[in-house]
Amino acid sequence: MSLSKESKLTRFSWLRHPRHYLFFKVFAWFWLTIIGTFTALFFLSNISLINAISHDPLKGPMQKNLEHLARGIERSAHKHKRSIHDIITNPRLSKRKLLYLNSLSSDEFLISKKVENNIDFSLLNFSEGMPPQIIFTEYYQAFGPVRIRVPEGEFALYEIDINQQRPLFIRLRLLPVWLKISIAIIASLTLSFLFSRNLIAPINSLKQAAIRLSNGDLSARATINSQRKDELGVLGRDFNRMADQLEQLLSAQKRLLADISHELRSPLTRLKMATGLAQMQASEASQSYLLRIEKEANQLDKMIADVLQVSRLEANSQPLSLQAQSLQVIVDHVINDAQFEAKQHNKTLHIQGDAEVNIECDEMLIASALENILRNAIKYAQHTISITLKHSDIITIQICDDGPGVPAAQLDKLCEPFFRQSDARDRVSGGTGLGLAIAKNAVIAHGGNLALSNKDAGGLCVEISLPIQKRDHVL
């Protein structure tokens, strides 16, 4: 029973707080647009319109009554020999109706009773040759004309209804068509624009924040008014809470990785010292095992150093020793070492272009990035590694191999720490998965960019872009 009550309360909660729901806002803005349009029409309808006239064909009972009245006037004039003036001013007739007769053969006109001076019946003259109409003017409505023939001549008969307060629908009816259309368009466009802006702004903010978050910017947040209580406001605040938790989780993960790596160094150092002492006292048969322990300890030490470097680079806490120097010197030093390693594997390096330009950089960090990329290329190349150097507004270093390449779905993941392709899980071919992560973060720390792509003919290309102009680094 309580669940049923809660369900009903949730279902009708929008009735208690309608402004907290987007449905109500859409509904309210729709009606506001309609009300705003009619309000604008009402305001403009109060502006005096000189000689404004509108008309529609007269049909139905009103037309029959007017024609019956005309025949009655004709009978009375012919049968009883009464003047047209006496007939229409008869109290029985003039008390109920205001009649206007306009002579078709002269300028004479007759009115059944006195009216205000500002009422101009000459506006009806345009309709003399037309079938019966209902004619709207600013001060009265007229029904007619119906032709009557009496001994005094031929007249056009109109029945007049004086507008005491000029009803709204008549004032609106008298507005020009172009003005009514313009008001409707302007009012609806203005209100729809304001509503659309109010609706789309938080959606666009959410979209931009989601894009930045997906690109790795963990500080991205949606700009949502804290006073907004509808579904979009709730969604925006939920998104920001999710982003806060995601940032905290990833930051905690990076800190944990860095802390563990740092703490591992102490026992690892003691292990290496103990291995060295054991080698001094061990027999010849045990030396091979101790050498194996030393090798694995060194490998572990290097891995921990790489993890710490990645953690510091991702956290922007890696101190940069910036100095202005020629990039070509750094590249030559790295390539000389790479050529020696490539020869050991019967592979060749082809170099095009040059990097004879001075930049402000951390030599050790840039050299480490290039070395990691080249070693990766040498490892997976079949025969050739090509290196292309260009510089204009920026420096471009492209390193390509002729290996099997990488599935397109995995390109974006190659620079993630510890990521390795499923077919390269063993340490000999797969490595630790930290080399490209270090390279990318080192390039980003210098204000550059690292992009991965597959060659059409097969093989992986890594393109590094570095700015030439001097940059300020605050770490």
Give the span between the Cα atoms of 387 and 471, in whole angstroms.
Answer: 26
- Which residues, listed in sequence order, are joined to residue 141 by a DSSP beta bridge? 136, 161
> Catalytic residue positions?
262
Look at residues 385, 402, 397 and name the one whose alpha carbon lies nearest to residue 353.
Answer: 397
Helix (H) or strand (E) holding 359, with range, is: strand 358-362
What's the residue count for the chain? 475
Q: Where are the beta strands (DSSP E) in 187-339?
A: 322-326
Residue 469, helix vs strand vs coil: coil
CA-CA distances (angstroms) from residue 239 to 22, 212, 231, 242, 334? 17, 13, 12, 5, 45
Q: Is 449 left (phi over 0), alpha (psi -120 to 50) or beta?
A: beta
- Which residues, listed in sequence order, are joined to residue 350 by a DSSP beta bridge? 386
**Eight-state DSSP code of residue 17:** S
Rg (CA), the chain: 46
DSSP letter string, 394-458: EEEEEEEE-S----GGGGGGTTSTT---TT--SHHHH--S-HHHHHHHHHHHTT-EEEEEE-TTS
Helix (H) or strand (E) holding 366, with range, is: helix 363-380
Q: Cβ neighbours of residue 457 under 8 Å, at least 6 residues apart?
A: 402
Q: Where are the beta strands (DSSP E) in 2-103?
A: 53-57, 98-103
Residue 101 in contact with residue 84, Cβ under 8 Å? yes
Start-to-end CA distance of the chain, whole Å, equals 61
